[in-house]
Structure 1
Amino acid sequence: MRADKTYASIKHSIPGRIRFKVPDLRKDKILCGTVERNLEKVAGIIRTRTNDKCAALVIRYNPDFISPEHVYEALREIVAVHTTKICPIKDKKECGCPQVKGALRYFSFVSAVGGAVLISESLLGITVAQTLFSPLGFLTVLAAVPLVKEAVTKLREKKFGLEGILAGGIVAAVIAGEAMTAFEILWINAGAELLTAWITERSRRAISGILDNTTHHTFVLRDGVEVEVEINNLKEGDVVVLHTGEKICVDGTIVDGQGLINEAPITGRADFIHKQQDDQVFAGTFVREGVIYVRAEEVGDKTYLARILHKVEDSLENKTAIESTADKLSVRLVKIGFACTVGTLLITADPWRAFTVLLVMACPCATVLSASTPISTAISTAAKNNILIKGGRYLEEVGKCDIACFDKTGTLTGSEPSLEHIHTTEGVTESELLTYAFSVETHNHHPLAQAIKHEAGLRKISPLPHTVCEYFLGKGMRAELPENENHSTEILVGNKKLTEQFDVRIGSLSRQVSTLKRKGLTVLYVVKDKDPIGLLAFANTIREESATVLNALGAGGVDRTVLVTGDEPATANDLARTLNIPEIHASAMPEEKATLVRTLQSEGGKVMMVGDGINDALALAQADVGVAMGTGGAEVAVEAADIALVDDDLKGLMYVQQLSQDTVKIAYQNFWLATGSNIAGVIMGATGVLSPVMAGFLHILHTMGVIANSSRLLLHSPEAIESKQGKIYELPQNS
């Protein structure tokens, strides 16, 4: 028996308005915003409002275009996609959790020992011996073992890094009888390690939450019977049975059945794809309608969603240019520190002052953290805003790009189709053709049907009653409209496959169909009693935010905007004129897109490529920063891209550009804070103002200052763009 989670329940309903209780929304403002944005993309839904305090959602909709049942289904599907919390990697060790636990255990041990000594001396008045052979000295040496091991390993590799410097400072402090000072160094270093591990794990969890679109259980076919199994127990070769509304949990090939597949979680596109035997499906997509039997080819951490997560996790370990600068700066500071230490000893002949200077400069934790903390925090913040950044290098680079190349379809144009052109045969008016089409498509919730109903609503056309209504998966609709008691009119609305099924001859319409398809339009035939009476042509409207985003990118440093598309020059020119894009490359093949990006780079530009399809993958990989719409317009595109706008929202480009520039700005502020306090510490230590204990507190103070400054990025949120009702931009119709 299949047990489904209740994602939402109806608390109150009147025509045009429903109030839901959605438990997952409670105290989750990010999910509230995600649900609102996705619901408002559904045709027929007018407005949404959430309340995270009481987990309530109010939806206002047009009952002429969408039924309450389909409103609920749309809500259930959206909530299901964004609330599943299971890591797609089978081995939990790969999710990074142990690093945080280990760092926490070490930090807790160091804090406990240090706290006990502090309480003993400050509150109880008990003097604690701090020599090398004292209990505290022994614990200090024990706590320093991991750091010393790491330093020795680096020395064997002929590398002298921060670990060796810290280990040297600790040994010097213990030998000098200042074990507590050595413990302060260990405590600061342990805190830095814990903070880094926590921020990285937080980024991983946020990213995993975006990518994790599988479910816990599914059904497989065993000896002709459906058997429920856990996802983790699936094996290659299993035949998984998936029904209407269920989520696909494997990458595989359909061996039987057919269905409409909602690939929006993967491709970001709202239209449903008809898939049948021998077609491929991917984990994280939904069966919108039908029943399919899928032979599993990739399961668990081999599915492409998991592969993306692996790539992101790997990239979190790669240092950006600014992080490398921080490491180099910290090593230089230490070298300068040793010079200052020797100089202080020679000038003052005071080993105590020289030791204080050594402690100040031998532990450049704040300098090391000055770049890594803002980078990790920014990646985590972006993930919470449904923007997937595959590493700090791309976060840093995207704010420096001065050339932006855009694909057209699915990028600057939206994924929701609109009725762009109506062609009628002689003696048939547009209103008559649209009335027939509207009457047939009344109960259909395919995106093209929604576009027909939307246009009919704008023209105030009402549907005619029908007695028979049939839906042909992947082809179209057939209905019978009664004229009198003895006769009904048969109307077909669908693609060429439907006309072939009913032996309809297209005749003179073929030339017009070819013209419309050359313009990149999707064409549906309208047939009355076996005679074609017209065509309906659809295109995706220009996104309402496209012009605003292009202007904002220009203000943020993009000097050159390029439209590169595989569409015909006429269509590309129309779009470029509307959005004021000066440079166009039309009819471009995938290799030509990549060549164009390479040429722009050879001219000295930093190129950002924005696309969504397989034909963009080569250009996305070639660009300095590749940005994929949705969680990738195609599997190849998302794997080639460096940044993915998960919500398929172009405004994310504005956000990530500003986030990049703010992150670099905060990193440099951290440099000055860390370096300035170190210089001040050296001066005070050399003049005798600062004691070794106060040098430890100075480390704590400026390290916390760096952390606090970096944490401002947690509050970084996308700026809202005012949107107006209706179509903001449309491609001009070409007759």
Structure 2
Amino acid sequence: MRQHYRLEGLSCANCAAKFEKNIRELPSVQDVQLNFGASKLMVEGEASVMELEQAGAFDGIKVRHEHEKAAPPAPFWKNKEVQSMVFSLPFLLSGWFVLFLSGEESIGAVLLFALSIAIGGWRLLLTGLTNLFKFEFDMKTLMTIAIIGAAIIGEWGEGAVVVFLFAVSEVLERFSMDKARNSIRSLMDIAPQQAAVLRDGEERLVPVEEAKIGELIMIRPGQKIPLDGVVDNGSSYVNQSAITGESVAVKKEAGDEVFAGTLNEEGALRVRITKWAEDTTLAKIIHLVEEAQAEKAPSQAFVDRFAKYYTPAIMMIALLVAIVPPLAAGGLWEEWIYRGLAVLVVGCPCALVISTPVAIVTAIGHAAKRGVLIKGGVHLETAGKITAVAFDKTGTLTKGTPEVRDVRSFSSMDSNELLSYAGAIERYSQHPLGRAIVQAAKDLPLAEADQFESITGKGVQGVIDGKVYWISRADDKVRLTREMKETVDEFRKNGSTVMLMGQGEQVLGIIAASDTIREESRSIVQKLYQAGIKKTVMLTGDHALSASSIGKEIGIQQIEAELMPQQKLEIIKRIQQNDGKVAMVGDGINDAPALAMADVGIAMGGAGTDAALETADIALMADDLHQLPETISLSRKTLKIIKQNIAFALGLKVLALLLIIPGWLTLWMAIFADMGATLIVVLNSLRLMRVK
């Protein structure tokens, strides 16, 4: 049996690894996966919540079922770690005051320092000693050795300061990690827990889990929509910023789709439920973002490998510092043991281990709140390294809703009759050009067509009155008269896509349809160049003339036209070989092979589109190209911050270690350096929440 849980109090990456190891050792557990970024746990087996909490008792980790409502957070001052830290402070200050008056560590000062250590660090010492007996050397083990060592050589005051500063570091780290996770927690809280369902002519308030697909729910002005559905009756403006990041409310009428967690601003709406509570777009976004936060980025994998060897190396260096000088050069044992303990304290890998995940968690959560779904740290990092962007044309650079602009007949059929036949054939087509023809023919009497057949990349055909009629894009394989060729070229130069309709070998007429370029397309391409993108490419199945007309208007550098899906794939490979990492921007369905081949696949319009959410590495939920340069900028900023974090974490420790040579590094300076590195790393990562 597979169970999912939420965790409270999980702030340390090392503690998370130990917690997972403890659960894995439970006899009733077959498998376990712990998501540190999302503070989430998956357990396969029969373990109870009590057993799981016992496995995390060393760090006070609390466990609750995934759908169980979280208790309101306790006030800051009620936190046990905070209370221990605060109650230990008076004894620490009193000890230093007595030491100042007496000039040396008297019995009174030692007792006060010992009480400060006991009150503020008993959890730390208990965990550290347990780890020591099990030969598990993590951060708390190193701290315990340092504190006990300080007491043995008579440095009670410094031991007490180490305990206090470590407690401060733990509290601040927990607070900072909670802050980083808040972006996803706020998403979880935006959807109402109850829905006003119409049953037997009455309005009943029921939990969203009990509402059924097909039932009607009422949403009044100012209320949030509890479940995904389609408007059955009513009209209103709905604020969809929670899902798509759009700042402007969207008008919704009968037949329009609405999403859980969005806000109904004006009119009353009656909505027919289309998805269960666990399948809503919001629920999928939350799930995918949490999975993304669990996925390790390349830099994090490197740091994890580095930390695996780093901790034993620090312990070995500390041991050598403590014993080599007294044995080899006759140094004072007390002095060099003290320096060895300082090495242990300053060498704690906490800041290094947390340097990457806290940046990844913050960036992915921040992007999700603004309507950009990034499905993993690896994609976030890769997006920051791309040098080329390839665009699908239809629905990406253009609005994706072409309109028929002109119809020319080259047979005995007039243009209306030609359009009527074309509309009858295209009635069953899902292609945007086919829908444009049906829309243009909606006021005409349509003939009856059957035996509809679609040939990918070629066109469609159908049978009307026993004759096979076909519609395809104009190409060299179809023989055209000079007049037809001139008409085709005329339409293409105006940026239109040209379709031929014929019967047998005869071309009966020409239909020209054109798509409207998105207003923002040109400015977005310019912003991409400003963001550091060196090359832009447009991939389309359209004819070269019409593609060139649109591409030049937008400012695209390279235009590849008349492409089949396989050819798009080959061009992506060629760009990767010649220009480095490439992102492909498409609709998530038609361009699936190219999206998969690109280093980063970016889908337009993820809201409500399952295929886009599933196939792309990044989904722009609002179908808004403005989010593209912003996402690349966020990715590059994240890469920069990760590098800064690693530099801070290692640089500060190297600097502190250098102070050992002249003997200037004290225990309290060592813990201050470790705490400082951790706080710098976390606060630096939280700057990502301010990226516009």
With the shorter chain as reference, the TM-score category is 0.5 to 0.7
1:341 alignment partner AA:
A
Unaligned runs of 5+ in 2: 1-65, 100-107, 326-330, 410-434, 449-468, 475-487, 500-510
- For 2:267 and 2:310, the matched residues in 1 are separated by 64
The answer to whether the 8 Å contact 2:220/2:268 transfers is yes
1:496 is matched with: 441
1:706 is matched with: 681
CA 1:366–1:281: 2 relative to 1, 3 Å:
closer
2:205 is matched with: 229
Choose which of 69, 83, 105 in structure 1 pairs with 2:79.
105
2:290 alignment partner AA:
E
1:407 alignment partner AA:
D
CA 1:574–1:551: 2 relative to 1, 3 Å:
same
CA 1:407–1:329: 2 relative to 1, 3 Å:
same
Taking the TM superposition and a 5 Å limit, the aligned residue runs for 1:369-380 are 369-380=354-365
- 1:407 is aligned to 2:392: yes
- For 2:496 and 2:251, the matched residues in 1 are separated by 18
1:395 is matched with: 380
- Give the secondary structure class of the aligned counterpart of 1:541: coil
What displacement does 1:414 show?
4.0
1:129 is matched with: 111
The answer to whether the 8 Å contact 2:198/2:218 transfers is no
- For 1:635 and 1:337, the matched residues in 2 are separated by 49
- Per-residue CA deviations over 1:325-374 (Å, capped at 9, x if unaligned) read 33444454434433432332222444444434334433233333433343
- 1:355 is aligned to 2:338: yes
1:444 is matched with: none
- For 1:171 and 1:409, the matched residues in 2 are separated by 69
- For 1:568 and 1:153, the matched residues in 2 are separated by 71
- For 1:153 and 1:386, the matched residues in 2 are separated by 47
- Per-residue CA deviations over 1:419-452 (Å, capped at 9, x if unaligned) read 8846799xxxxxxxxxxxxxxxxxxxxxxxxxxx
- For 1:633 and 1:586, the matched residues in 2 are separated by 30
- 1:635 is aligned to 2:620: no
- For 2:352 and 2:368, the matched residues in 1 are separated by 26
What displacement does 1:309 show?
0.7
- 1:117 is aligned to 2:91: yes
- 1:309 is aligned to 2:286: yes
Choose which of 166, 186, 197 in structure 2 pairs with 1:220.
197
2:62 is matched with: none
The answer to whether the 8 Å contact 1:383/1:389 transfers is yes
2:281 alignment partner AA:
Y
2:633 is matched with: 658
1:234 alignment partner AA:
E
What displacement does 1:194 show?
0.7
The answer to whether the 8 Å contact 2:196/2:219 transfers is no
1:539 is matched with: 515
What displacement does 1:409 show?
2.5
1:580 is matched with: 556
- For 2:358 and 2:673, the matched residues in 1 are separated by 19
1:318 alignment partner AA:
E
- Give the secondary structure class of the aligned counterpart of 2:348: coil
- For 1:351 and 1:364, the matched residues in 2 are separated by 26
CA 1:689–1:625: 2 relative to 1, 3 Å:
same
CA 1:188–1:521: 2 relative to 1, 3 Å:
farther
The answer to whether the 8 Å contact 2:652/2:677 transfers is yes
Taking the TM superposition and a 5 Å limit, the aligned residue runs for 1:218-367 are 218-223=195-200, 225-230=201-206, 232-237=208-213, 239-241=215-217, 249-251=226-228, 283=260, 294=272, 296-299=274-277, 301-345=278-322, 346-347=324-325, 348-356=331-339, 357-367=342-352
- For 1:307 and 1:394, the matched residues in 2 are separated by 18
The answer to whether the 8 Å contact 1:597/1:607 transfers is yes
- Give the secondary structure class of the aligned counterpart of 1:689: coil
- For 2:279 and 2:579, the matched residues in 1 are separated by 39
The answer to whether the 8 Å contact 2:605/2:612 transfers is no
- 1:194 is aligned to 2:168: no
- Give the secondary structure class of the aligned counterpart of 1:129: helix
1:678 is matched with: 653
- 1:610 is aligned to 2:555: no
CA 1:421–1:206: 2 relative to 1, 3 Å:
farther
Unaligned runs of 5+ in 1: 1-88, 426-473, 476-492, 504-509, 524-534, 718-735
1:687 is matched with: 662
Give the TM-score taking structure 1 as reference length. Answer: 0.58
- Per-residue CA deviations over 1:266-320 (Å, capped at 9, x if unaligned) read 78999999987xx998656899999877365522x33232022112012223332
- Per-residue CA deviations over 1:576-622 (Å, capped at 9, x if unaligned) read 33333314254544x77567656766889433222234324554455
The answer to whether the 8 Å contact 1:673/1:702 transfers is yes
- For 2:238 and 2:310, the matched residues in 1 are separated by 56
1:34 is matched with: none
CA 1:304–1:108: 2 relative to 1, 3 Å:
same
CA 1:414–1:359: 2 relative to 1, 3 Å:
same
- For 1:565 and 1:168, the matched residues in 2 are separated by 65
Moved more, 331-340 or 596-605: 596-605
Choose which of 123, 128, 136 in structure 2 pairs with 1:142.
123
The answer to whether the 8 Å contact 1:600/1:607 transfers is yes
- For 2:393 and 2:72, the matched residues in 1 are separated by 41
Aligned length: 534
Q: What is the percentage of aligned positions where both structures have the same residue?
A: 27
What displacement does 1:520 show?
7.8
CA 1:163–1:695: 2 relative to 1, 3 Å:
closer
- For 2:299 and 2:172, the matched residues in 1 are separated by 18
2:586 alignment partner AA:
G
The answer to whether the 8 Å contact 2:120/2:163 transfers is no
Taking the TM superposition and a 5 Å limit, the aligned residue runs for 1:564-579 are 564-565=539-540, 571-578=546-553, 579=555
